[in-house]
Chain A
Amino acid sequence: MEYVFHIIIMLNIYIMLVLSANLTIGMANLLTMCQAAFYGIGAYIGTFFLTQFNLPFVVIAFLVMVITGTFSFLVSFASVRLKDDYFVIATMGFQLIFFTILYNWTDVTGGPHGLLDVPGIKLFGVYELSGVYEYLILSLIITAIVVWLFHNLASSPFGRVLNAIRADETMALAMGRDTAMFKSWAFFLSAAIAGLAGVVYASYNSYINPNSFKLDESIFILSALFIGGIGNTKGPILGALFVVIIPELLRFVGLPNTIAANLRQIIYGLSLVLVMYYRPQGILGKTILK
């Protein structure tokens, strides 16, 4: 049973990550390849706060979200000035620079060995969470809040402006909306949620290393998003479900581990190609990437 709960916790983390990617990619039509960098920033900064200070979780989550969000201004600055492929390659550059720093700044990040013994989350500053059950409940609550937030965001004034930017940025600008500012806040929120997922992951796993936050992870999040669908809430949730459940199904069928790892990657790749051909908005998605 603990094994099932572990999968549900990972599923919750991926739901947050894929939803956060959907905010910029699906709603604002800005294809970013650096979601794993924000995930990593959240994890490392969260670890720093958890180790150094004895703060309640709500405070730590807030601080991590604000700091991770602040890093997103580096990317949104690029989004104002660069278009299409140049923006994609700039976000890839951001992701790779981040990984290089994580990997080589050994004094602070632990380098390739990562950080061991990340403390558990303290709910009110006293009670330290441990064990799968407590993290299951915590991750379910956080994910429910995030899902609720993104679900309502779509119909909020903010979400409608993003939708207008996606449809026609020049028109949104002509209607008197500061599109650059709206995009920046979309990035801020997206990075903040990815950072939140990072803290939960770091303290649940109690060990982090740079390999969880490299370009492949960003591409993995992107695949989940595009398979599930972009532009609404149910698409990303389905995508996260797809990428988390497939490996377990393969294990269930009884394939040897060495083949199963590659086979599931091939399944992701193939689904990505097929979905892009037959249903470019994704299985349950609403909008098509322009």
Chain B
Amino acid sequence: MIGQFVINGLITGILYSILAIGFALVYNTTRVFHIAAAGIYVFAAYMFWLFASRFGLPVVPASIIAIVLAGLLSLITELCVYRPLKNRNASLNVSMIASIGLMIIIVNLMVMFFGNETKVINSSIVQPLSFGNIIITFPQLLQAVIGVIALIAFVFVLQSTGWGLKLRALSADESLFETLGYDTYRTRVAVFLASGALIAIASCLTVYDVGLDPNMGMNVLINAIVAMIIGGSGRFNTCILGGISLGVLQSLTVYQFASNWQNAVTFVVLLLFLFLRPQGIAGYKQRTV
């Protein structure tokens, strides 16, 4: 029984990790508290639904279109809001408030066009796979496989390519990065595209399993932020550690108590981390924290 809960938690944790990396890509490099990510998450889900259910495309091309569109929306937020604010020397908190505004705009535009009710994409029932007494449904298997592939791809890009090196350099010290002759703005374009795409991957994988509604974004994003903080801030790979720990923890909460206390336990753990170990499980100790 407990094995089942751990497996469920692992799979949720993989999705949290992807979303947390999508958030951390923007947060670590630009220092903007990117709340609009919740809006992008919802946008990607609705685009996926639009192309898969309304226009009847197969799931794979529909999700690819959704990922591309979400990347573009993410880029639009950078070009239309964050970059102009940065050019005006606006403080990070001001950017964050603008980001909240963006989130409100995107989510409500989705409601306006597609309505408020919950929608489903995959209504077919496939016989679940069972290993001993552990049962994995087909969407869960899809989440696990594609999620792990996405995570491995990200870690590879981060560790072994020039772009990953630039990314780490930008998140370590922006002014040094500029002094050495690299173009911050060009790197930021890539960062926002990648962030939007990762958020969309997490979104599509989730909504393929559980369906979508316009108010889901903020809750999922906050969980991802908690995952990022628990794992360790200032780095990217630690998001995976945090995401999987959080997923398993939440799943065990359901096993031990009930699912309606999940949020409370998550935030008690967050507060414990913030007070006792603010750098997270594997983060660097930062002086500003």
**Chain A residues with a Cβ under 8 A of chain B:** 31, 78, 81-86, 88-90, 92-94, 96-97, 99-101, 103-104, 215-216, 219, 222-223, 226, 259, 262-263, 265-266, 268-273, 276-277, 280, 288-290
Q: Would you call A223 and B267 a contact (CB within 8 A)?
A: no
Known: A86-B278, A276-B94. A96 touches B263 (CB 8 A): yes
How far is it, in angstroms, between the C-alpha of A265 and the C-alpha of B39 when the chains are bound? 13
Q: Would you call B289 and A83 a contact (CB within 8 A)?
A: yes
Q: Would you call A82 and B278 a contact (CB within 8 A)?
A: yes
Residues of A within 8 A of B90 (CB): 276-277, 280
> What's the nearest-Cβ distance from chain B to residue A33, in Å?
9
Q: Would you call A101 and B274 a contact (CB within 8 A)?
A: no
Known: A269-B103, A290-B91. A88 touches B97 (CB 8 A): no
Supply 6 further A-B pairs (C-beta < 8 A) apart from A219-B100, A265-B104.
Answer: A85-B96, A96-B267, A262-B109, A266-B109, A269-B103, A276-B85
> What's the nearest-Cβ distance from chain B to residue A278, in Å?
9
Q: Would you call A97 and B101 a contact (CB within 8 A)?
A: no
Residues of A within 8 A of B107 (CB): 265
Q: Would you call A266 and B263 a contact (CB within 8 A)?
A: no
How far is it, in angstroms, between the C-alpha of A96 and the C-alpha of B271 when the chains are bound? 12
Q: Would you call B229 and A89 a contact (CB within 8 A)?
A: yes
Nearest B residue to A266, CB-CB:
B108
Residues of A within 8 A of B270 (CB): 89-90, 93
Q: Would you call B261 and A104 a contact (CB within 8 A)?
A: yes
How far is it, in angstroms, between the C-alpha of A84 and the C-alpha of B271 when the chains are bound? 15
How far is it, in angstroms, between the C-alpha of A216 and the C-alpha of B111 when the chains are bound? 16
Number of interface residues of B (CB under 8 A): 43
Residues of B within 8 A of A83 (CB): 288-289
> What's the nearest-Cβ distance from chain A to residue B96, in Å?
8
Q: Would you call A273 and B101 a contact (CB within 8 A)?
A: yes
Q: Would you call A100 and B112 a contact (CB within 8 A)?
A: no
Q: Would you call B222 and A223 a contact (CB within 8 A)?
A: no
Q: Would you call A215 and B101 a contact (CB within 8 A)?
A: no
Q: Would you call B271 and A268 a contact (CB within 8 A)?
A: no
Tell which of A81, A85, A97, A259 has the most Cβ of chain B within 10 Å.
Answer: A85
Q: Would you call B91 and A289 a contact (CB within 8 A)?
A: yes
How far is it, in angstroms, between the C-alpha of A183 and the C-alpha of B222 when the chains are bound? 26
How far is it, in angstroms, between the C-alpha of A287 and the C-alpha of B209 when the chains are bound? 47
Q: Would you call A272 and B100 a contact (CB within 8 A)?
A: yes
Known: A96-B267, A97-B268, A280-B90. A273 touches B109 (CB 8 A): no
Main secondary structure of the interface of B (DSSP, over half): helix
Q: Would you call B271 and A276 a contact (CB within 8 A)?
A: no
Nearest A residue to B275, CB-CB:
A81
**Chain B residues with a Cβ under 8 A of chain A:** 33, 81, 84-85, 88, 90-98, 100-105, 107-109, 111-112, 218, 222, 225-226, 229, 260-261, 263-264, 267-268, 270-271, 274-275, 278, 288-289
Residues of B within 8 A of A86 (CB): 229, 274, 278, 289
How far is it, in angstroms, between the C-alpha of A86 and the C-alpha of B96 when the chains are bound? 13
Q: Would you call B92 and A84 a contact (CB within 8 A)?
A: yes
Residues of B within 8 A of A96 (CB): 222, 263-264, 267
> What's the nearest-Cβ distance from chain A to residue B95, in Å?
8
Residues of B within 8 A of A90 (CB): 270-271, 274
> What's the nearest-Cβ distance from chain B to residue A31, in Å?
6
Residues of A within 8 A of B268 (CB): 97
Nearest A residue to B269, CB-CB:
A93
Known: A270-B101, A277-B88. A88 touches B33 (CB 8 A): yes
Known: A269-B103, A277-B84. A215 touches B218 (CB 8 A): yes
Known: A82-B278, A89-B270. A288 touches B94 (CB 8 A): yes
> What's the nearest-Cβ distance from chain B to residue A267, in Å?
9
Tell which of B105, B226, B229 has the most Cβ of chain A within 10 Å.
Answer: B105
Residues of B within 8 A of A277 (CB): 81, 84-85, 88, 90, 98
Known: A262-B108, A269-B104. A289 touches B94 (CB 8 A): yes
Residues of A within 8 A of B289 (CB): 82-83, 86
> What's the nearest-Cβ distance from chain A to residue B80, in Å?
9
Enumerate the 5 nearest inter-chain pairs by beta-carbon distance, A residue then B residue, closest first: A272-B101, A269-B104, A269-B105, A93-B267, A276-B98
Q: Would you call A100 and B103 a contact (CB within 8 A)?
A: no
Known: A82-B274, A96-B263. A89 touches B288 (CB 8 A): no
Q: Would you call A31 and B81 a contact (CB within 8 A)?
A: no
One of A89, A270, A289 near B105 (C-beta < 8 A):
A270
One of B33, B102, B104, B267 near A85 (C-beta < 8 A):
B33
Q: Would you call A103 and B112 a contact (CB within 8 A)?
A: no
Q: Would you call B288 and A84 a contact (CB within 8 A)?
A: yes
Tell which of A86, A271, A288 has the most Cβ of chain B within 10 Å.
Answer: A86
How far is it, in angstroms, between the C-alpha of A84 and the C-alpha of B254 when the chains are bound? 32
Residues of A within 8 A of B100 (CB): 219, 222-223, 269, 272
> What's the nearest-Cβ distance from chain B to residue A97, in Å?
5
> What's the nearest-Cβ distance from chain B to residue A139, in Å?
28
Q: Would you call B112 and A263 a contact (CB within 8 A)?
A: yes
One of A84, A93, A222, A266 near B97 (C-beta < 8 A):
A222
Residues of B within 8 A of A85 (CB): 33, 92, 96
Q: Would you call A272 and B104 a contact (CB within 8 A)?
A: yes
How far is it, in angstroms, between the C-alpha of A88 and the C-alpha of B93 when the chains are bound? 10
Nearest B residue to A274, CB-CB:
B101
